[in-house]
Chain A
Amino acid sequence: MQTKRMTFSHNWLPYLLLAPQIIITVIFFIWPASQALYQSVLRQDAFGFRTEFVWFQNFQRLFEDDLYLNSMQVTLVFSVGTTLLSMSVALLFAVMVNKMIRSRDTYTTFLVWPYAVAPAIAGVLWWFIFNPSIGILPYMLDMVGINWNHRRNSDQAMLLVIIAAAWKQISYNFLFFLAGLQSVPNSLIEAAAIDGAKRFKRFWTIVFPLLSPITFFLLVVNIVYAMFDTFGVIHATTEGGPSQATNILVYKVYRDGFVGMNLGSSAAQSVILMSIVIVLTVIQFRYIERRVNY
Chain B
Amino acid sequence: MVENNRWGNILAHTLLILGVALVVFPIYVAIIASTHTGGTFMRGTIPLLPGTEAINNYRTALLQGRSSAGTPPISLMLWNSFVMAMAITIGKLAISLLSAFAIVYFRFPFRIFFFWVIFVTLMLPVEVRIVPTFQVVADLGMLNSFAGLSIPLIASATATFLFRQFFMTVPEEMLEAARVDGAGPFKFFKDILMPLSITNIAALFVIMFIYGWNQYLWPLLITTDPKYYTIVMGIQRMLTGGDSEPLWHLVMATVVMAALPPILVILFMQRLFVKGLTETEK
On A, residues with C-beta under 8 Å from B are 1-10, 13-15, 17-18, 20-22, 24-33, 35-36, 39, 89, 92-93, 96-97, 99-100, 103, 107-122, 124-126, 128-129, 131, 134-136, 139, 167, 170, 172, 175-176, 179, 189-190, 193-194, 199, 217, 221, 228-229, 231-232, 235-236, 250, 253-254, 257-258, 263, 266-267, 270, 273-274, 277-278, 281, 288
Contact = CB atoms under 8 A, between A and B. Distances in A.
A32 B127 CA distance: 12
A228 B217 CA distance: 11
Interface string B89-121: 000001110110111111110011011011011
B19 interface: yes
Contact of A13 (B29, B106, B118, B140): B106
Contacts of B172: 4-6
Contact of A134 (B12, B102, B217, B248): B248
A118 B128 contact: no
Interface stretch (B49-57, B66-74, B129-137, B197-205): B129-137
A99 B26 CA distance: 27
A257 B128 CA distance: 11
Majority-rule SS of A interface residues: helix
Given A21-B99, A128-B252, A135 B46 contact: yes
B106 A8 contact: yes
A167 B26 contact: yes
Contact of A18 (B1, B19, B25, B114): B114
Given A1-B112, A24-B152, A231-B216, A116 B99 contact: no
Contacts of A119: 214, 216
Contacts of B185: 8, 10, 13
Given A111-B23, A131-B46, 4 more contacts: A1-B115, A3-B111, A6-B176, A120-B235
B118 A22 contact: yes
Nearest to B173: A6
Contact of B23 (A114, A118, A250, A274): A114
B216 A128 contact: no
B102 A193 contact: no
A113 B267 contact: yes
A274 B124 contact: yes
Nearest to A279: B123
B30 interface: yes
B273 interface: yes
Interface of B: 1-3, 8-9, 12-13, 15-16, 19-20, 23-27, 29-30, 33, 41, 44-46, 48, 94-96, 98-99, 101-108, 111-112, 114-115, 117-118, 120-125, 127-137, 140, 151-152, 154-155, 160, 168, 172, 175-176, 179, 184-185, 188, 210, 213-214, 216-217, 220-221, 232-233, 235-236, 239, 248, 251-252, 255, 258-259, 262-263, 265-267, 270, 273-274, 277-278, 281-282
Contacts of A124: 235-236, 239, 251, 255
A22 B282 CA distance: 23
A111 B274 CA distance: 12
Nearest to A278: B123
Contact of A116 (B30, B130, B133, B262): B262
A113 B266 contact: yes
Nearest to B209: A116
Contacts of A8: 105-106, 184-185, 188
**Most chain-B CB neighbours within 10 Å: which of A8, A26, A175?**
A8
Nearest to A108: B270
Given A22-B118, A176-B278, A121 B235 contact: yes
B131 to A, nearest CB: 4
Given A4-B104, A6-B179, A281 B123 contact: yes
A89 B118 CA distance: 35
Given A26-B117, A277-B124, A175 B274 contact: yes
B29 A125 contact: yes
26 contacts: A3-B104, A13-B102, A18-B99, A18-B114, A20-B95, A21-B96, A24-B151, A24-B154, A25-B121, A32-B136, A33-B129, A36-B131, A124-B236, A124-B239, A124-B251, A125-B27, A125-B29, A129-B29, A134-B41, A136-B45, A167-B23, A175-B278, A190-B1, A199-B8, A228-B125, A250-B128
A244 B98 CA distance: 46
Contacts of B155: 21, 24-25, 28-29
A288 B45 contact: no
Nearest to B153: A28
B235 A111 contact: no
B163 to A, nearest CB: 11
Contacts of B154: 24
A21 B103 CA distance: 12
Contact of A270 (B19, B132, B184): B132
A107 B16 CA distance: 8
A120 B216 contact: yes
A39 B132 CA distance: 9
B19 to A, nearest CB: 6
A235 B220 contact: yes
B20 A111 contact: yes
Contacts of B277: 115, 172, 175
